[in-house]
Amino acid sequence: MIATLGLVPSGSAQAKPDIDDVQAKVDRLYHEAEQASERYNDARLELKDLEADLDSLQADQDRQDDRLGVVREQVQDAIVRQYEGQSLAAVGQVVVSEDSQDFLAQLSTMSAFNDMQSQLFDEYATELKSLDIRADATERRAEDIAALEEKLAAEKKTAEEKLAEAEALLADLKAEEREDILSRGTVRMPSDVPASGSAAAAVAYAMAQVGDAYVYGAAGPSAFDCSGLTMMAWGAAGVGLPHSSSAQYSSGPHVAASDLQPGDLVFYYSPISHVGMYIGNGLIVHAANPGTGVVVSGLYSMPYVGAVRPG
């Protein structure tokens, strides 16, 4: 009997991953992670505004509560004067509630109401209404903050999941293949960038960070995300920017690509989710992604949207 040799079809063997395919998947995952991270940055800015608003509302409510207490004392004094000559115990039996609304209801049914100073009664009612309005506004703002904090947690989770998926893809490659993927689109750092004025300080800061790590939500000193790098760079020049690529797009006058100067901020993707700094000669410095860090790349290495000149 002739033994039959079992042949394994070539298609069943584990195929070597196509580098271009892995490149595309990693780029997509990094971009999706960065989109979530920039939404997280936007939400943090909104949360900061909401918290400041809540503090202001709470302070208003406290002041309103103090004013209400003053008027309450004035009303009670007026009642005592109206009952002058009678037992103070009788007065105390009338005004017993510590609840502001109940106190107002008691005043409206007191036999001495017609003789009481109506101005004080009206003032108390007005102050109480104002307090209720401020208390409702404070409660609504607190609810807004709670909802936004949930959104922050969700965006952070999304970014972390996309990053983990990208890292898993890269882990399946050989070291030289990973290096090939992560170095694509980067160029050698120029020896000199002809910037002037405040832009010179911003460019110098950004260029000094080349080689630093990319970390979502980071703004130095040794790790950055894209908007964190540009924020800190222009901060070194004395110009304040928000930690958000989409918010930075509104931080100054827009300039055409043909008019770009070193220090200008350049923006990518729609909706905007990445920002870098133009350094001349068709190059940008930017915090690219977690696998690459802060590098120099070509101006059109990503889908270009527009540019802004801070300062």
Which distant-in-sequence residues (6+ apart) come within 8 Å of 100 by Cβ? Answer: 68, 72, 128, 131
Across the chain, mean pLDDT equals 79
- Continuous H helices in the chain: 19-82, 88-94, 100-109, 118-171, 175-183, 198-208, 226-235, 245-248
Instruction: Read off the pLDDT of each residue in 56-73 and give the average, rounded to a whole number.
Output: 72
Residue 9 DSSP label: P
Query: In this predicted structure, what is the pLDDT of residue 274?
Result: 96
Residue 12 has pLDDT above 60, yes or no: no
Phi, psi angles (nearest 5°) of residue 18? -75, 125
Beta bridge partners of 267: 275, 306
Fold of the domain built from segment(s) 187-308: endopeptidase fold (from Nostoc punctiforme) (3.90.1720)
Query: In this predicted structure, what is the pLDDT of residue 232?
Result: 98
Answer yes or no: CATH 1.10.287 is held by domain 19-171. Answer: yes
Confidence of residue 188 (pLDDT cuts 50, 70, 90): confident
Per-residue b or e along 212-248, where b marks 16 or more CB atoms closer than 10 Å to that residue's CB: bebbbbbbeeebbbbbbbbbbbbbbbebebbbbbbbb
Tokens of 206: 């950004």
Query: In this predicted structure, what is the pLDDT of residue 96?
Result: 47
Confidence of residue 8 (pLDDT cuts 50, 70, 90): very low
Please report, rounded to a whole number, the percentage of residues in the chain having pLDDT higher than 90: 34
Instruction: Read off the pLDDT of each residue in 171-186 and give the average, rounded to a whole number.
Output: 70
CATH 3.90.1720.10 location in the chain: 187-308
Whether the CB-CB separation of 282 and 299 falls below 8 Å is answered with: yes
Strands (DSSP E) found in 175-293: 186-187, 213-214, 223-224, 254-255, 265-268, 274-280, 283-287
Select the more confidently predicted residue: 127 or 133: 133
Residue 100 has pLDDT above 90, yes or no: no
What type of residue sits at position 33? Answer: A
Residue 153 has pLDDT above 60, yes or no: yes
Query: In this predicted structure, what is the pLDDT of residue 300?
Result: 95
Enzyme catalytic residues: 226, 274, 286
